[in-house]
Each structure stands twice: as C-alpha cells, then as structure tokens.
A and B are shown apart, each in its own frame.
Chain A
Amino acid sequence: MSVKQISVFLENRPGALCEMTKVLADEAIDMRAFSLAETSEFGIARILVKDVYKAVTVLKDADYITSVSEAVAVAIPDVPGGLHSVIKAVADAGINLEYMYCFLGGKSGKAFLVCKVADVAAAESALSAKGAVLVEQDELAEL
C-alpha cells in the first residue's frame, strides 16, 4: 500500500535547490509532494512523483545522488484532531516516526501525511485498523 519516496542529496548553498527543481521542471516531472531537510552542511530533498523511474533517471543524468525508499502516505481526516488521530495510531502501535511531512492533493484538495518509519507494513496495519485511508503509489496522480 506504500508510496515510493525519492531522496536527493543537495549541497547546502544558495541555488542548490533551485538547480534541482529546474532539472525536474525541464523534464516536466510533476511532483505530488516535496519536503526539504537540512543541516548547516547538506540537505536532503524528498519528493513523491507518479513516475519514479523517470524522475530518478533524469536526476541521475544530471549527476544527482538519489535513493528510493518506501514511505506510508495517509489521508488526514478533515476534522479537528484529524492529524492527531493519525499520529496517535502510529504511536499507540509503538512505531517510531523518523520524520513526516504534509502535502495537499491537487484534485481532491485534501491533506495527506507522509510518514517515514522503519517498519512500513506494521505502520500501515496499525493505521488501517483505525480506519485511516492509505494511499498507494499508483493513486498519487489521482489525488
């Protein structure tokens, strides 16, 4: 049920991010979600796209170092406490959340949460048990 997240190594200097987004824009890669983590030394851009293979190829051709990993994407119920209910489901199952970020579905206008966990299957079954709506890689384009 998971999504495939692409991580890209970036130098922490002015323009580094812009150069990467230009590569993706030039190749008309449609990003569904984007997040940037950084230290004073370097950064990691994390992106979700429909066509993972194409995006990785384009980035590699431009000499970027990438890695692809599984992440859990889940819809955030549009009610007060919606985010909390999702996070609580993961926490109650004793699963450690390494990091997370949110994005908005362009078509649905709904909010989604991407969670990075060590055990993707365990997180997904904990969320399903609580009635959460999980997103699959194939569904990314339709959100």
Chain B
Amino acid sequence: MSYSISLTVNGDQRRVELDDPRVTLLDLLRERLDLTGTKKGCDRGQCGACTVLVDGRRVNSCLSLAVTLDGADITTIEGLADGDTLHPVQAAFIEHDGFQCGYCTPGQIMSAVGLISEGHAGEDPERVREGMSGNLCRCAAYHGITEAVIDATRRMAETSERKSA
C-alpha cells in the first residue's frame, strides 16, 4: 500500500509518495528529501538532535511518522535563515560558541526557536536551561547554548517591539 501526503517543508509545498508507512519524519527528511541538516542521535526521543517545528511547534521528528503529517507545515534548520541572513538564534549560537562538534546544533537551534515562541522561559537562565533540557549535547556546550538562547530571546523581543512601535 502506498500513501500520498502533502507537506509544506521550509515554505515549499511538496507531494510525497510513501511506499512505506514506517518512515519517520526524520528519515523522510534525511533519506528521501535530501534535507540532512536534521540529525539523528538516538532515534528514540531521548536526545533532541532531530528537533524540527511541525506547525510551529518543536517536536522530535524521530518519533513522528511521516504518514501522520499530511497537510503539516514543517520547518527544519535549512529553512531558518532568510537567504544569507541568519536567524537571530543561529547568529547567537555562533557568537556565544553554543556548539563544538555541531551535531546536536540543528536540534538545539530548532528547539530554542520553539522554546522562544512558546514564551514561557523568557530571559530567565533557569527556565531556559529547563526548557532546553530535551536537547543533549555531548560536547557539553550548555553554557554557550543558554547564553545564546537568552541573547536571541532579548534581540527578538527588541525587534518585535520595534516593529510594533
């Protein structure tokens, strides 16, 4: 049996024919749509490396079956920057050295974008740490990650204030 789904991936409308319902969103992105920015660290929801936004919310793409996502809007790390202009979270990660090997980084960044839009952590370091705890980093760049998320939160708040003013 084959399943046909339509997805919006990083703004592009895509029709995907799935010959196999077992394909996770993560494997769909990586192995079939050539979007390898999203990483697999555990395939079991335990590390956060595969975090993407589905309809604006951060989820673990490894625990999400592609076939269930018909009609969904998906944002991956590849879709975050605006051309050559980095998203504030991406820029902050570079500035605060919020990564080393970079493998967990796409997941960290997508998780941070999700966290910021959820709006529960603000600039409180303890809340940011808690909110980012679903993303393991074996290089242990946590110090920089927390700083980066706080910094990006602040900058994004300033930008949206300026816009609304």
Same complex: no
